[in-house]
Amino acid sequence: MKLNTDLIREILLQTEATEPGKPIKPDIPGYGEEEIGLHVEPMIKHGLIEGLTVPNGSGSVHRILAYRIDGITLEGQNFLNDARNDTNWKKAKEKCLEATGGVALDLLKACLAELAKQTIGRL
pLDDT at 32: 92
Residue 23 per-residue DSSP state: -
Residue 34, pLDDT above cutoff 70: yes
| Distance, CA of 10 to CA of 110 (rounded, Å) | 19
| Distance, CA of 72 to CA of 91 (rounded, Å) | 24
Mind listing the pLDDT tens digit for each residue in 73-123?
Answer: 999 999 999 999 899 899 999 988 888 877 788 888 889 988 888 888 776
Tell me the whole-structure pTM to 2 decimals: 0.88
